[in-house]
Amino acid sequence: MYEVKEYRKAAQDIDPIFLKRWSPRSFLEKEVPEDLLQSVFEAARWAPSAANVQPWRFVIARSQEDKERFYSFINDSNVAWCSKAPVLIAVVSKTDADFMGGPNPSHAFDTGAAWGFLALEATRKGLATHAMGGFDKNKAKEVLSIPDNYEVHAIVAIGYQGDKESLQDKLREREVPSNRNETEMFISEGTFTEKI
């Protein structure tokens, strides 16, 4: 386990939860209690969304059979570490809204907010989360029976953080909380300015 303050320091006064949340790859093969898991979904429930549409959907895999189904579309390099996580979640959004009569242009943005709320609550409850983009989206939709008007954004591993020594050598060295760009790198005032 890491003392995050060794790796991260905020430039402004913010809640420590934002620094504490990071994406480890090492998980204990320890079940997450139902009430604890439901609490992270409860946090996601309260994320903001355009017109309160709440387009996010989560497909959960906890049984070995369900996790094997997920492994069929997750890249092997991710299966190597996420297979120890007790819970896998497909983060999905509904791309249209009935009352809009067509596409919902903010479905991905709103679902990202829900994922963020989930990740912060998981951290608050002593759980680790790691979102993955390394998977076959089309195969995930097929395997999980996700309709055409839904999009799969990420697969999230969730559980209790394990010891980095359980990881393959090449992953051990990456098993530290990463830093972030300074705010000056992503803020422009008045008009957009690309910052490199």
List of domains in the chain: 17-164 (3.40.109.10)
* C-alpha span between 172 and 26 (Å, rounded): 9
Q: Enumerate residues 6+ apart whose C-beta is below 8 A from 12.
A: none
CA distances from 171 to 75, 123, 165, 168, 182 (A): 15, 21, 10, 5, 26
Say what the alpha-carbon torsion angle 149, 121, 83, 145 is, to the nearest 10 degrees.
Answer: -20
Tell me: the pLDDT tens digits for 167-191?
A: 888 788 787 778 888 888 998 999 8
Q: If phi over 0 gives left and psi between -120 and 50 gives alpha, with beta otherwise, what is residue 101?
A: left
pLDDT tens for the chain, 196 residues: list them: 456 666 788 989 988 989 888 888 999 999 999 999 999 999 999 999 999 999 999 999 999 999 999 999 999 999 999 999 999 999 999 999 987 789 999 999 999 999 999 999 999 999 999 999 999 999 999 999 999 999 999 999 999 998 888 888 878 878 777 888 888 899 899 989 998 7
